[in-house]
Structure 1
Amino acid sequence: MSRTAPDDRATAPRRQHLPLRPLWLCRVCASPWPCPVARLTLFQEYAHDRVALSVYLCSVLHEAAGDLYRLNPHDGPDPAALFTRFLGWARPRDTR
């Protein structure tokens, strides 16, 4: 590649970090969803409405818990771990 040739990555569309259901893994990076990129994207999308972000994440948590439990009913997902994964990161920080 010559120094003047355009970089293919610059023109390629970015793939959205969305969940692969029912596993709830990121479709792009295979991390547990919401992955770090998805979290940043959600923060940006809901920058002016943190309550709506929490409501959205609660609904997604509910769906994920059902899917993950159906995949493994005998050793279902840990509720505390799911809370931390889906909602714990989005809590407002104490600014005192």
Structure 2
Amino acid sequence: MRPLWLCRVCAAAWPCPPARLLLGMEYRRDPVALSVYMAGCLFDATADLINLNPSPAPSPADLFDRFLAWTARRRT
């Protein structure tokens, strides 16, 4: 749910664990595309979340972990 960036199913911060699992399955053959997609989401979410709550702004490290860090995990 934009601009809050919450999951429409469970209302947790998106991408929640089930969303990450589904995204991982959807992009299983192209993990680079997943990282590019999530980088775009990070860019959009940063603007949305800062506009909603500018003080204190969301932590860049937290947003990176939420949107991108998990995409680098090894998949077997």
- How high is the TM-score relative to the length of structure 2? 0.93
Take 2:73 and 2:30, find their aligned partners in 1: how far apart are those partners? 12
For structure 1, the 5+ residue unaligned runs are 1-19
Alignment of 1:8-27 (within 5 A): 20-27=1-8
Structure 2 partner of 1:48: 29
For structure 2, the 5+ residue unaligned runs are none
Q: Identity rate of aligned residues, in percent?
A: 59
Aligned-residue Cα RMSD (Å) equals: 1.3
Structure 1 partner of 2:19: 38
Q: Offset of 1:75 from its aligned partner?
A: 1.0
- Say if 2:60 is the partner of 1:84: no
- Say if 2:56 is the partner of 1:75: yes
- How high is the TM-score relative to the length of structure 1? 0.74
The alignment covers a number of residue pairs equal to 75
Three-state SS of the structure 1 residue aligned to 2:55 is helix
Take 1:59 and 1:69, find their aligned partners in 2: how far apart are those partners? 16
Bigger helix share: 2
Which has the higher relative contact order, 1 or 2, with Cα contacts under 8 A spaced 6 or more apart?
2
Q: What's the CA shift string for 1:17-52, capped at 9, x where partnerless?
A: xxx011111111011000111101100110010110
Deviation >4 Å, runs of 4+: none
